[in-house]
Amino acid sequence: MRRYAVVGDQAVPSTVTGDGSDTHSMILELAGTSAVVPHLYMIHAGSVGTPADQQYSFRVARGTALAATADSVTPEPIDIQSNVASASSAQSNATEAPSTLLTANSFLFDGIFNARSTYNWIEDPDRGVMGPASTATIMAYFLDSTGGTPTVRMTWHFAE
């Protein structure tokens, strides 16, 4: 099993509607292939800069398309000995969320963190939040609500 890391950050708007459709609320996206099922086993989130005592909630959702406008992120192998390129693709800093993230039953994980601290979620690397094997399936992380305008930095570890 190959393991990878992706890192992204996003300056968050002052108003977030909670449906992922807001400009700049998408932080990371991960897309698999029909042959590879990525599964997320570690989430690390925090606020960049001087934090305020504010709460942020977020969601990991499943959809069927990557955002049209975003920065490509190259998954980095965690085990540098294998140094095998990931079959999955990743994006960060999306300017909009695909509408497919807003469908019923698309939410896989909800979390809450305070900007004065970091948030960590770790699962057994052989388990975790899995995406189905499909070329048109993604997992995306977006802010659901916010009490301010932070820049949120996110790290995901995933396996294929």
For the chain, which residues make up each domain, given as ranges? 3-159
Please write the tens of the pLDDT for every residue from 93-103.
776 666 666 56
CB 142 within 8 A of CB 110: no
pLDDT for residue 69: 76
* Residue 75 confidence class, pLDDT cut points 50, 70, 90: very high
Q: Which of 3, 49, 12 is nearest to 155 (CA)?
A: 3
Rounded Cα distance between 132 and 30, Å, is 12
Rounded Cα distance between 28 and 71, Å, is 10
Q: Give backbone dihedrals phi and psi of 39, rounded to 5 degrees, phi first.
A: -130, 130
Rounded Cα distance between 108 and 105, Å, is 8
Comparing 148 with 81, the larger pLDDT belongs to 81
Mean pLDDT of 83-110: 75
Q: Which structure tokens are listed for 111?
A: 């979390």
Please write the tens of the pLDDT for every residue from 1-46.
889 999 988 776 555 555 545 544 678 888 888 788 888 899 998 8
Comparing 36 with 158, the larger pLDDT belongs to 158
Q: Which of 105, 101, 108, 103 is nearest to 25 (CA)?
A: 101
pLDDT for residue 107: 75
- Using only C-alpha atoms, the chain has a radius of gyration, in whole angstroms, of 15
Mean pLDDT of 39-64: 79
Q: Of 33-37, 48-52, 107-111, 151-155, which one has max mean pLDDT?
A: 151-155
Count of residues in the chain: 160
